[in-house]
């Protein structure tokens, strides 16, 4: 049971504040969040992973000046917000997972993924799983952003034995900093790069995974929830288009020797004709919903083999899927328009509260599918023993209030709070 959620929230914030302080001195990363309004509007973001400015939604909770605290934007009793852009969020999450302040809290290796290829960044989330356990940072092809540089300096990776002592795993077109033992994973296109990540991880693990996730290379919102699962399970993410199974993907699937293949998204994204082609390489099942938010919920509740009807459901050995249909877990909420944030937040799904990624499509509204999921499965109940005997939830919100509003944050906080059983 998670009976120290608030203490854990405060502890998680400490490395985020450290990154914020570093960025203040460096002038920020220069990479803007997709929904951040221009300065002339007076809107801005409160950054647990970056700069601190003002917005009307932010002001509903507090400011960053005048001696006020940044609550409830940064945190409520059941939620924590990482409020930068994707580059800053990746840096903040990496330091929340690996505080790197005392011996034993540094990672062996760190992933540096490209901002210009969301497919590669999401596929690289699998490198957070054992045996590599590498948090993920983001960079474009030029100079490394300030947030990434500061986080990498503090993380000070020690060298991971599973990858021949590499301290930095460079994915695609990203810088190669001096002074670190680096390994590069490349590919000519998103399909080939995802397949290369899969091969690299299989070598580190010593075998190919029996489960493979297939996502659309053209519909990022439906691919996003795969990042959290890949980080937790180590299952690779490979890509298809709406019209073909590319050669690199087909070759990777053959290497897995008839795996269980799980396709994310509805027929409008990956048609049944593609599933028919995939059956040449393994068994195929689809996980989907009517929209990106509903699909993320379907993935959060999914298990193969299916849960017995009318019985408690949970993850069991050798099963696939989160199977989260009970309270006492973490949940990571991300705006569906920000695929890089799925990669940035993936380490949160592989540590601490081990939670699935759920999508928000309108910053000011919790999707009905997510609301019903929380009502059906997440809200803890407690008996006459009182709330101290209950299980506890925790929600992470990724992005500023322009991505997920304080109103939605407050609603999530309420839904995750234990209530008396009736």
Extents of the domains making up the chain: 5-420
Residues of the chain whose pLDDT is less than 70?
1-68
Structure confidence at residue 39 (pLDDT): 31
Structure confidence at residue 253 (pLDDT): 98
Structure confidence at residue 379 (pLDDT): 86
Alpha helices in 280-380 (DSSP H): 292-301, 339-349, 368-373
The SS3 assignment for 154 reads: helix
The HSE-up count of residue 368 (CA atoms within 13 Å, CB side) is 3
Cα pseudo-dihedral 216, 353, 410, 293, rounded to 10: 20
Structure confidence at residue 382 (pLDDT): 86
Residues 359 and 93: their CA atoms lie apart, in Å, by 18
Structure confidence at residue 68 (pLDDT): 66
- Contact status, residue 85 vs residue 33, Cβ threshold 8 Å: yes
The HSE-up count of residue 32 (CA atoms within 13 Å, CB side) is 8
Cα pseudo-dihedral 138, 340, 400, 395, rounded to 10: -100
Structure confidence at residue 315 (pLDDT): 85
Structure confidence at residue 24 (pLDDT): 37
Residues 81 and 90: their CA atoms lie apart, in Å, by 13
What's the full length of the chain, in residues? 422
- Contact status, residue 241 vs residue 217, Cβ threshold 8 Å: yes
Structure confidence at residue 396 (pLDDT): 98
Structure confidence at residue 67 (pLDDT): 57
């Amino acid at each position: 049971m998670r009976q120290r959620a608030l203490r854990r929230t405060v502890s998680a914030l400490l490395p985020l504040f450290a990154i914020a302080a570093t960025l203040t001195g460096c002038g920020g990363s220069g990479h803007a969040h997709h929904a951040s309004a221009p300065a002339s509007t007076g809107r801005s973001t409160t950054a647990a992973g970056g700069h601190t400015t003002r917005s009307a939604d932010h002001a509903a909770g507090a400011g960053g000046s005048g001696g006020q605290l940044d609550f409830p934007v940064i945190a409520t009793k059941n939620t924590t917000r990482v409020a930068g852009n994707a580059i800053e969020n990746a840096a903040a999450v990496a330091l929340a997972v690996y505080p790197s302040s005392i011996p034993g809290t540094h990672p062996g290796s760190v992933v540096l993924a490209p901002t210009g290829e969301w497919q590669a960044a999401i596929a690289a989330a699998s490198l957070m799983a054992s045996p590599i356990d590498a948090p993920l940072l983001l960079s474009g092809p030029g100079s490394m952003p300030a947030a990434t540089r500061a986080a990498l300096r503090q993380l000070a990776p020690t060298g991971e034995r599973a990858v021949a002592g590499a301290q930095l795993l460079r994915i695609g077109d990203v810088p190669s900093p001096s002074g670190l033992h680096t390994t590069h994973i490349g590919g000519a296109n998103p399909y080939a790069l995802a397949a290369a990540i899969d091969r690299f991880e299989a070598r580190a693990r010593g075998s190919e995974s029996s489960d493979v996730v297939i996502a659309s290379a053209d519909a990022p919102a439906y691919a996003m929830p795969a990042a959290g699962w890949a980080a937790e399970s180590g299952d690779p993410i490979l890509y298809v288009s709406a019209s073909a199974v590319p050669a690199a993907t087909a070759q990777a699937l053959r290497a897995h020797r008839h795996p269980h293949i799980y396709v994310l998204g509805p027929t409008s994204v990956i048609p049944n004709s593609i599933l028919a082609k995939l059956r040449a390489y393994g068994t195929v099942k689809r996980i989907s919903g009517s929209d990106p938010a509903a699909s993320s919920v379907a993935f959060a509740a999914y298990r193969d083999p299916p849960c017995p009807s009318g019985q408690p459901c949970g993850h069991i050995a050798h099963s696939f899927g989160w199977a989260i249909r009970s309270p006492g877990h973490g949940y990571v909420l991300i705006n569906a328009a920000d695929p890089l944030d799925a990669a940035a937040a993936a380490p949160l799904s592989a540590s601490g509260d081990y939670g699935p990624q759920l999508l928000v499509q309108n910053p000011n509204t919790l999707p009905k599918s997510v609301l019903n999921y929380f009502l059906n499965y997440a809200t803890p109940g407690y008996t006459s023993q009182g709330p101290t005997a209950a299980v506890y939830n925790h929600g992470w919100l990724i992005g500023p209030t322009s991505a997920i509003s304080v109103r939605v944050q407050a609603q999530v906080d309420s839904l995750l709070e234990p209530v008396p059983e009736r």
